[in-house]
């Protein structure tokens, strides 16, 4: 019973779309007819696709070569007894993660309650009194 929501979600939002995608890959969608492996043969004979696939593979290898060993090395160093001032290095390591939260909070504060000239309250005032602004502008345009 506990697994039913998970299984239904996986079926509905993962397996069914993957199945439909695979089914569509064997069709000419514009003509709505079955073409079999012709789409794959055309894709693999396209030089741009092959180059893009090769570039993606090189990028993946480079990313994995950098993103697995170096963080493991840094984590090992930070937890070893040989390293001095580990608190300082841990702080330097986590500063970027905290900075984004501080920047988002500052921007939110400036947009909402920063000053009299904050963007969102002025926008809400304009929307609330839009009828009067438009009437005043039209009256000035007719007079002028």
pLDDT tens for 63-93 read 999 989 988 888 888 888 887 888 888 888 7
- The confidence score (pLDDT) of residue 115 equals 66
Locate 140 and state its tokens: 């000035």
Residue 7 lies in a domain: yes
- 8 within domain boundaries: yes
Range of the domain at 29: 1-36
**CA dihedral (135, 136, 142, 143) positive or negative:** positive
Query: Does residue 11 lie in a domain region?
Result: yes
Show the tokens assigned to 60. 């993946």
Between CA 95 and CA 102 the distance in angstroms is 10
How many folded domains does the chain comprise? 1
Residue 9 lies in a domain: yes
Q: Residue 118: which residues within 8 A CB-CB, separation 6 or more?
A: 110, 111, 112
Which pTM value belongs to this model?
0.47
């Amino acid at each position: 019973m506990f697994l039913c929501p998970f299984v239904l979600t996986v079926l509905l939002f993962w397996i069914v779309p993957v199945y439909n995608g695979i089914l569509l890959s064997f069709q000419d969608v514009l003509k709505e007819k079955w073409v079999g492996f012709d789409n794959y043969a055309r894709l693999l004979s396209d030089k741009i696709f092959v180059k893009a696939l090769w570039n993606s593979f090189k990028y993946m290898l480079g990313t994995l070569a950098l993103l697995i060993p170096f963080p493991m090395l840094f984590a090992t160093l930070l937890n070893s007894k040989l390293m001095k001032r580990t608190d300082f290095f841990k702080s330097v390591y986590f500063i970027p993660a905290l900075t984004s939260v501080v920047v988002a909070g500052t921007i939110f504060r400036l947009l909402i309650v920063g000053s009299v000239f904050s963007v969102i309250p002025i926008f809400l005032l304009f929307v609330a009194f839009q009828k009067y602004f438009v009437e005043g502008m039209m009256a000035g345009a007719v007079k002028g």
